[in-house]
């Protein structure tokens, strides 16, 4: 999928060679690109640039990627932004820590431009598909509004990060149907994005913390379902 000119990528890395490599390949594919050399600068640039995707290095001076991701996710304007961590194999890096911080995916260095472009195209495709889906879901005492990425539980408005929202909306769109972790990974993250099955558990736990324990039921040894008695 060729991206529209409005699809924006922010590259954050303290290695100028990586910045140059990614900038060249992304602009050649038609993406609009901005860059930053550390996490603090990334937040500053993101506020002005409003990226659709942030490619975020983990180990950086001033503010590292994990801390920057957490700060970004606490800002309402970046709750729906895709964040992909860039990680070196030699780093002590936990995939679970990345997803706990709010990451959508991670890519291991050395970065292969074709693999990166494939993942970005997958994000763009899913964004386009979601715009065509049913906009309001009402189930289990919740009202899920895809247009505003908001969940309403009675008068209370609950705002979820994008992946948590997508996971809840997907389950709620087919109440009482049991989905395996693999099915959820493929439908929410995509088959061409590498994430581990534990990622689903992390996101389910976070959704339950915000909407309550009753709506999503664990089917032991299988997966999860949106529960309607």
Q: How many other C-beta atoms can be found within 10 angstroms of the C-beta atom of residue 41? A: 17
Q: Where in the chain is the domain with CATH 3.40.50.2300?
A: 8-130
Distance CA 132, CA 128 (A): 7
Tell me the CATH number of domain 8-130, given options 3.40.1190.20, 3.90.1150.10, 3.40.50.2300, 1.10.3720.10: 3.40.50.2300
Residue 182 makes CB contacts below 8 A (sequence gap 6+) with 197
What is the model's pLDDT at position 215?
Answer: 92
Helices marked H in 3-133 — which ranges? 16-28, 39-49, 65-73, 95-101, 113-131
- The architecture (CATH level 2) of 134-226 comes to Orthogonal Bundle (1.10)
Question: Do the Cβ atoms of 110 and 90 come closer than 8 Å?
Answer: no
Largest Cα–Cα distance in the chain?
Answer: 56
* Stated pTM of the model: 0.64
Question: Do the Cβ atoms of 60 and 75 come closer than 8 Å?
Answer: no
Q: Where in the chain is the domain with CATH 1.10.10.10?
A: 134-226
Tell me the mean pLDDT per 10 residues along the chain, length 229: 68 95 94 96 96 93 92 88 81 70 85 88 74 74 86 91 90 91 85 70 92 92 87
C-alpha pair distances (Å), 219 with each of 80, 150, 176, 223: 28, 26, 11, 5
What is the model's pLDDT at position 104?
Answer: 84
Residue 22 makes CB contacts below 8 A (sequence gap 6+) with 11, 13, 33, 55, 111, 113, 116
């Amino acid at each position: 999928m060729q991206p529209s000119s409005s699809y924006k990528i922010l590259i954050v890395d303290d290695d100028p060679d990586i910045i140059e490599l990614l900038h060249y390949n992304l602009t050649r594919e038609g993406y609009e690109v901005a860059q930053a050399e550390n996490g603090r600068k990334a937040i500053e640039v993101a506020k002005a640039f409003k990226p659709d995707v942030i490619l975020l290095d983990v180990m950086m001076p001033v503010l590292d990627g994990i801390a920057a991701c957490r700060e970004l996710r606490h800002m309402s304007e970046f709750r729906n932004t895709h964040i992909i961590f860039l990680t070196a194999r030699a780093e002590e890096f936990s995939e679970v820590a990345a997803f706990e911080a709010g990451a959508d995916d991670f890519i291991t260095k050395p970065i292969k431009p074709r693999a990166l472009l494939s993942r970005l195209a997958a994000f763009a495709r899913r964004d386009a598909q979601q715009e065509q889906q049913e906009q309001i879901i009402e189930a289990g005492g919740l009202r899920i509004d895809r247009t505003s990425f908001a969940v309403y539980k009675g008068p209370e408005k609950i705002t979820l990060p994008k992946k948590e929202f997508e996971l809840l909306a997907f389950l709620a769109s087919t109440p009482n149907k049991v989905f395996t972790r693999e099915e959820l990974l493929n439908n929410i993250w995509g088959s061409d994005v590498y994430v581990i099955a534990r990622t689903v558990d992390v996101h389910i736990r976070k959704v339950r913390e915000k909407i309550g324990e009753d709506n999503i039921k664990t089917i032991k040894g299988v997966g999860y379902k949106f529960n309607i008695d």
